[in-house]
């Protein structure tokens, strides 16, 4: 069962339909956008695990701009860019900017599914690590609370003990007075 939600941005209607069909057949939750502008609007209102985007799209928002936008919203969103064979260099540039991978046209869907599985695995591991960390934090916070209370209490007791010792060791005072002052100190604790 694939539970990741994927946003596909491509201005080519044929490719869009192909992505929509193949990805939903695999069980992914797919949303398609006709261009970068629509994709940006969707990113703003919904959350996605993966964005697959064509590098070259009409309008002000191309693949690179969409990549930047997605990473700005959350660095947890993984972006795969689609590129023509001739523009692999641009795809490498996109990876330097934070894209997780690139696909060359024509799309090899088996390859895409493998990459998506890898992304899902990493996300699952991250979630697992996050859960463990959360459990550790809860334990640590609770332990810290107890230890700090004990630490403060111990410091108070120690301070009293020090005072009592000083009073009792002061031979210039009468024995009974010393005992009385020491007792008062212990009672005031």
Binding residues for another protein, rule: CB under 8 A, are 71, 75-76, 95-98, 126, 133, 140-141, 143-144, 147-148, 150-152, 154-155
Question: Which residue, 41 or 133, is less far from another protein as judged by CB?
Answer: 133
Residues near 30 by Cβ (< 8 Å), separated by ≥ 6?
A: 5, 6, 7, 8, 19, 20, 23, 24
- Smallest distance, another protein to C-beta of residue 28, A: 23
* Nearer residue to another protein within complex by CB, 152 or 179: 152
Tokens of 59: 């309008």
Give the start-end residues of each E strand in 16-171: 29-33, 50-54, 78-83, 101-104
Based on CB atoms, which residue is closest to another protein, 76 or 177? 76
Residue 26 DSSP one-character state: T
CA distances (Å), 71 to each of 77, 140, 175, in order? 6, 32, 76
As measured in angstroms, the least distance from the Cβ of 168 to another protein is 19
Distance, in Å, from the CA atom of 24 to the CA atom of 39, rounded to the nearest integer, reads: 18
> Measured from the CB atom, is 125 or 183 closer to another protein?
125
| SS3 label, residue 98 | coil
Q: Give whichever of 3 and 139 is closer to another protein, judged by the CB atom.
A: 139
**Could you tell me the smallest distance in angstroms from the CB atom of residue 26 to another protein?**
26
**Nearest distance, CB of residue 120 and another protein, angstroms:** 16
CA pair distance 124, 121, nearest whole angstrom: 5
């Amino acid at each position: 069962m694939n539970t990741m939600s994927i946003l596909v941005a491509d201005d080519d209607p044929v490719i869009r339909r192909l992505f929509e069909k193949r990805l939903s057949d695999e069980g992914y939750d797919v949303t398609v956008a006709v261009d970068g502008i629509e994709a940006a609007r969707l990113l703003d209102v919904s959350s996605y695990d993966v964005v697959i985007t064509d590098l070259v799209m009409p309008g002000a928002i191309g693949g690179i701009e969409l990549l930047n936008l997605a990473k700005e919203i959350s660095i947890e969103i993984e972006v795969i860019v689609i590129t023509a064979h001739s523009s692999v260099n641009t795809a490498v540039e996109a990876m330097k900017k934070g894209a997780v991978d690139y696909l060359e046209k024509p799309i090899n869907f088996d390859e895409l599914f493998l990459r998506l599985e890898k992304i899902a695995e990493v996300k699952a591991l991250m979630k697992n690590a996050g859960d463990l960390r959360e459990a550790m934090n809860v334990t640590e916070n609770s332990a810290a609370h107890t230890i700090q209370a004990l630490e403060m209490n111990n410091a108070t007791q120690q301070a009293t003990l020090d005072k009592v010792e000083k009073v009792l060791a002061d031979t210039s005072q009468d024995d009974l007075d010393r005992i009385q002052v020491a007792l008062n100190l212990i009672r005031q604790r």
